[in-house]
Amino acid sequence: MSQNSFLLPEEAYTRAINPVADWVKQIAFYASRMTGKPFEACRQHLIKKLKSGAIPFKNPTVVHFKRAENGDTEKTTTPLTQYIQGTIKDNEVLAPTFTTYLHPSVKRSVIVEYLDINVAQRKVYKKASQKFEAEGDIGKFKYYHNAQDSAKRRNNSVSGGFVAKGSVIENKSAHSTLTSTTRSIASLSNASNERLIEGNRHYFTFQIALNNIISIATEADKECVQNAVETFGLVYPSIKDVMACIKRSTDLYWRDTKALLEIEKFVSVLTPVERAAVVYTGDLYHIRVFNDAFARQFLTDLSKKGDTTPVDDPVGKIHKTDEQIVNYAHQIYISGLEGVGKDYSKISEDDRYIVVNTCLNIEQTIERYKLFLEAFFLTKNSPCTIATIPSMIRRSVVLSDTDSTMFSVDNWVDWYFGTLRFDDAAYALSGAIMFMATQAIAHILAIFSANMNVERSRLFTLAMKPEYVFPVFAQTSVAKHYYTAIKVKEGSVYKGIKMEIKGVHMKDSSVPTTIIKSAAEEMRAIIDSVMRNEKLSLKAMLAKASDIEREITRSIDAGEVTYLKKIKIKEKTAYKDTEERSPYQYYVMWQKCFASSYGDAPKPPYQAVRLPLNIASQTALREWIVQIENPAVKEALGHYFKDTGKGPVRSFPVPIAHCSMHGFPPELKAVLDTRKIILTLTKSYRNILESLGFFSKRDMLLIEQGY
């Protein structure tokens, strides 16, 4: 079986970083279309104007350190265009930070060689961990999972070594180079996914939108686009269609009739082929909008499950197939591969035939639609404005990090089937969009790598592999706090689903296990309900969250310690700080202020529960002491704070032994911050409610709001 043919041949990815020449080419194209004059005449006119200074040209000065052969560095300045040209001339690697490095053909890095070995070893461990996890062998899974995690930490430690003073690998530029590279990868991936899945482009200003339209129309392979449109019977978008496509993105950021008319003037002088390029390049969503039948047929062909036609050495052929194709084939035949990982000895011969024939169908479909893919997805046009990607309003990307992008394709499933489904056909269809997105990113990152001048053997190393399939993904407003369920991990199909809960507020170990377990059960129930196409009841969820608040309130009012944070008061000598600054002070304070009325605290060490107190200022402290009815406690507290000079007390640990017998001292109970306790303990439930679209008032309990 052949390798994945979605990408262009390696030699097609060449370095192309000449901003001035590209600007001249694209502006000449724009001028040619708007004036009706020949392109070459416009180009020559621009060049002449640039050389004469008639067109202001600012060539920024780059301040940089240049390293001599003996390793000494010299601070110098170079015009930006000259800096870029010098980088190309000297065949150097250019990082996104504009730091340059010697090409590996000149000098190889021993650190890279170390990482190569470690990455390869981690891959072995990772595959083994996935295999045993899929098989349910938890012991071996944990062993290999820990081994791959250890290898990952060793790899990541190199980055820390770059910035550690005294490290033998200290290199001030290396860490920023690594960070900027990974951010560029994630940004390109997010922008590509938004454009492909939802037709969403980061057109946050008029100039950005116009520039990108000019760039696509200029750089498109018009012959290829025309052949693709006519071969597959695609629609040539009208001027109105193109403007609808553009407004889908610009409407998210600005409304300017005059600016849109300027764009429309340019769109109106483009040829039908150029308009097709503008609308369809990297944009499967708008291909679907204007070519519903074609999009449906393409995805049907790509997501087709293979049959049981016998094939010689099916397992051998599977192992020779591109891993991304195999992983997608597993998603197409999802119900037949549950719990077997990639151990094909555990499935029947017919199932092995189905897997290999599914892989063959994917390859054959890619080949059959190769002209379509080359015209609109294997182009020179990468997404625009990745430097400002944090400000992008997203439609499909639900979450991303430095090395990941997570996106939703539920709208595609709904379009194809008329409803949201969670069966084999729906997984196959969603997998087709995921496969397209992954391969489009691989092409864009190959362009990125070529422009950095990555050595040819590593040209396709940068990639965003589809690691997980989450049937349902639930977000909250807190960064990196979400819950979901894993169905597929790197091609290994789980039996059932495996919950994935992320974020300290979702599973805080300091919160009683009853609450955390209950919240986890609610998250699982929500996901199960969605997958069964059942309606969710926000009212029921509010009632459960409110009942928990009522239960915590009852427990605290009764003096119970069930929901309070427990701490240990140690002997005085166990603390490095002085008696006045360490937690030992609370033992002293109890003995001086409360022991005469409520008995001595146990000799340290002893267990205590921390009571949060609503005493935020000196005024609140004085008011608290004044209203205390017990004269002994009132006098003792007054003397204590006067003698020690201490300020407000935000919390106080009470011996558990006392609470178990007598509850909380009434003086402390009067200023007990019950609201703070409840808000801290119920963050997981509030996050669940946010995932359902209910946003509570931040500092109010649900029961205070009438629920």
Q: Is the pLDDT of residue 3 over 70?
A: no
> Domain check: are 596 and 628 in the same one?
yes
Asked whether residue 155 falls in the same domain as residue 137, the answer is: yes
Provide the mean pLDDT of the chain. 92
Q: pLDDT value at position 56?
A: 86
529 and 612 both lie in a single domain: no
Same domain, residue pair 594 and 648 = yes
User: Residue 143 has which token pair?
Assistant: 């062993």
CA count, 13 A, side-chain hemisphere, 183:
14
Q: Is 98 exposed, middle or buried (0-12, 13-18, 19+ CB in 10 A)?
A: middle
692 and 543: one domain?
Answer: yes
| Section 475-496 average pLDDT | 92
Is residue 500 located within the same domain as residue 515? yes
Question: Would residue 102 count as lying in a domain?
Answer: no
The neighbour count for residue 505, using CB atoms within 10 Å, is 16
CA-to-CA separations, 576 to 261, 582, 649, 696, in angstroms, rounded: 72, 8, 21, 42
The helix or strand, by DSSP H or E, that contains position 86, with its residue range, turns out to be helix 80-89
Verify that 547 and 693 share a domain, yes or no: yes
H/E stretch holding 619 reads helix 618-627
Question: What is the rounded average pLDDT of the residues 315-335?
Answer: 94
Closest-CA residue to 212 (of 223, 201, 221):
201
List CB contacts of 68: < 8 A, sequence separation 6 or more. Answer: 74
Q: Which of 532, 507, 427 is nearest to 681 (CA)?
A: 507
> What is the mean predicted confidence (pLDDT) over 581-605?
93
Q: Which of 166, 183, 200 is the last residue of a domain?
A: 183
Please report, rounded to a whole number, the percentage of residues in the chain having pLDDT higher than 90. 74
Tokens of 68: 């001599």
How do strand 100-101 and strand 404-407 relate by DSSP bridges? unpaired
- Do 544 and 588 reside in the same domain of the chain? no
Helix (H) or strand (E) holding 76: strand 73-79
555 lies in the same domain as 684: yes
pLDDT at 443 over 50: yes
Which residue from 659, 610, 599, 661 is spatially nearest to 633, judged by alpha carbons?
599
pLDDT in tens, 524-577: 999 999 999 999 999 999 999 999 999 999 999 999 999 999 999 999 999 988
Q: What whole-number distance in Å separates Cα of residue 443 and Cα of residue 441?
A: 5
Which one, of 39, 78, 79, lies nearest residue 59 by Cα? 79
Is 329 a residue whose pLDDT tops 90? yes
Clarify whether residues 552 and 569 are in a common domain.
no
Q: Is residue 350 part of a domain?
A: no
Range with lowest mean pLDDT among 50-64, 127-141, 505-519: 127-141
For residue 595, being part of any structural domain is answered with: yes
| Same domain for 527 and 577 | no
Cβ-contact 180, 95 below 8 angstroms: yes
Domain boundary among 165, 183, 201: 183
Confidence of residue 435 (pLDDT cuts 50, 70, 90): very high
Is residue 318 included in any domain, yes or no? no
Please report whether residue 125 resides in a domain: yes
Q: Which amino acid is it at 596?
A: S
Region 592-609: mean pLDDT is: 93
Judge if 554 and 643 occupy the same domain.
no
Residue 1 has a pLDDT of 42
Domain-embedded: residue 628: yes
The answer to whether 176 touches 99, Cβ cutoff 8 Å, is yes
Residue 570 region by backbone torsions, left for phi larger than 0, else alpha for psi between -120 and 50, else beta? beta
pLDDT at 4: 57
Amino acid 316: pLDDT: 94
pLDDT digits (tens, 9 = 90+) for 54-87: 988 889 999 988 887 777 888 999 999 999 999 9
Does the pLDDT of residue 152 top 90, yes or no? no
On whether residue 671 sits in a domain, the answer given is no
What pLDDT is attached to residue 430? 97
Contact 358, 508 (CB under 8 A): no
The residue segments making up the domain with residue 653 are 565-663
* Per-residue model confidence (pLDDT) at position 343: 87
Q: Is the pLDDT of residue 2 over 50?
A: no
Domain count, the chain: 3
Residue that terminates a domain, selected from 183, 200, 222: 183
Q: Is the pTM of this model over 0.75?
A: yes
261-317 pLDDT per residue, tens: 999 999 999 999 999 999 999 999 999 999 999 999 999 999 999 999 999 999 999
Mean pLDDT (whole number) for 127-141: 82
Answer whether residue 54 is part of any domain: no
> Taking 70 as the threshold, does the pLDDT of residue 5 lie above it?
no
The one-letter amino acid code at 315 reads V
